[in-house]
Structure 1
Amino acid sequence: MAFQHIKVIYPTAPARPYTPMKGAISTVWFDRYKISNDCPEHIESIDSMCQGLTDVINDEIKNGITKDKILIGGFSMGGGMAMHLAYRFHRDLAGVFALSSFLNKDSAVYEALKGNESVLPELFQCHGTADQLVLYSWGEETNKVLKSLGVSASLHTFPNLSHELNRTVIEDLKTWILKKLPVEAGKSNE
């Protein structure tokens, strides 16, 4: 996805041992005890990644980009990582997108948002009903809990879509991004 007025950064998850693959090396943002929403989070690996991704955000701030002009998000585990990063550590970002993503039932994100009274980044969420890896019900539950904790969250449902992206998801995401970061009169990024 390219925009004339928005810089897009695609960080890559590191290779690490991944418990659901019996410790085999996989390119993942964090470890999981299992691919399920009803187990504890592997908070040490999540927090390690949050620190590294905070460095990326801080580099953009040093380059003159204000946090209210930064969106973060991702697909699958990347969306979960973005929700941790935004709702636990960077609540002043412009928004978050999570595509085919979820948070565990007892997520540290939910705990961090309890009692919050500040305005939180908007969440744009998409999920396919035929997803067999990250169940639609997990994404739906994540959306409902975040809404109950004060997040302005939308969930866009895609019937028959598996754990994948399609053109409609990408177009809907692009529309949301342009709504959050519109072209300012007379300005563009080169």
Structure 2
Amino acid sequence: MGAPMLFGPDFLVPIVAEYIESYPQAEVDLSLTDAFVDLASEGIDVVVRIADLPDSNLQSKRLGALRRVVFGAPSYFARNGRPEHPAELRQHACIVRTIGNRPGQWAFQIDGKRRMVGVRGSFRSNAMAAIYSAVRSGLGLGYSPLWEIRHLVDAGQVEIVLQEFEPKPVPIHALWQESTRPPAKVRAFVDLLAMRLRLDDL
């Protein structure tokens, strides 16, 4: 099976463990990558993807949706205040991920429409781990899927702002190759995923 790099270890591996316990003869080869791989050429039975899905010949089951949030350290807010509208981010230090289609462009829902807001700051990185460390250190504000920073929020190391302007959540799906009836092993795993994943707070 395949899954995104950061999502797989924390969210999928415990479910894989339960699956193998229920089906001791099963073997699972988990490939972690953020690239959209071709299932047939890579020999993958089922993949979890976090994205709006393009038209394809794959079957899918929606597992939920994931929030994207702006967050910062209490020390940053103490020095600089909290933005109350996305337009105010232009006056804040923002930590930009340097890879992707539109670096320095953060999506929001403003007046009922999706809007992109340009941001900048003195620190940039291609790695989310470095961005999270920089935010914790008070260098600026970050923008990320909530599930990736939930542990920081719960620990009080960062706080979320601009919740009322969050863009529409990104859907998460399980995908498998099209057939009139998916193999029993795929069907069993997808059913278990749907039961065990709890994504409402993410």
Relative contact order: is structure 1 or structure 2 higher (C-alpha 8 Å, sep ≥ 6)? 2
Give the TM-score band, short-chain normalised.
under 0.3
Higher helix share: 1
Higher strand share: 2
Decide which structure has the larger Cα Rg and report it.
2
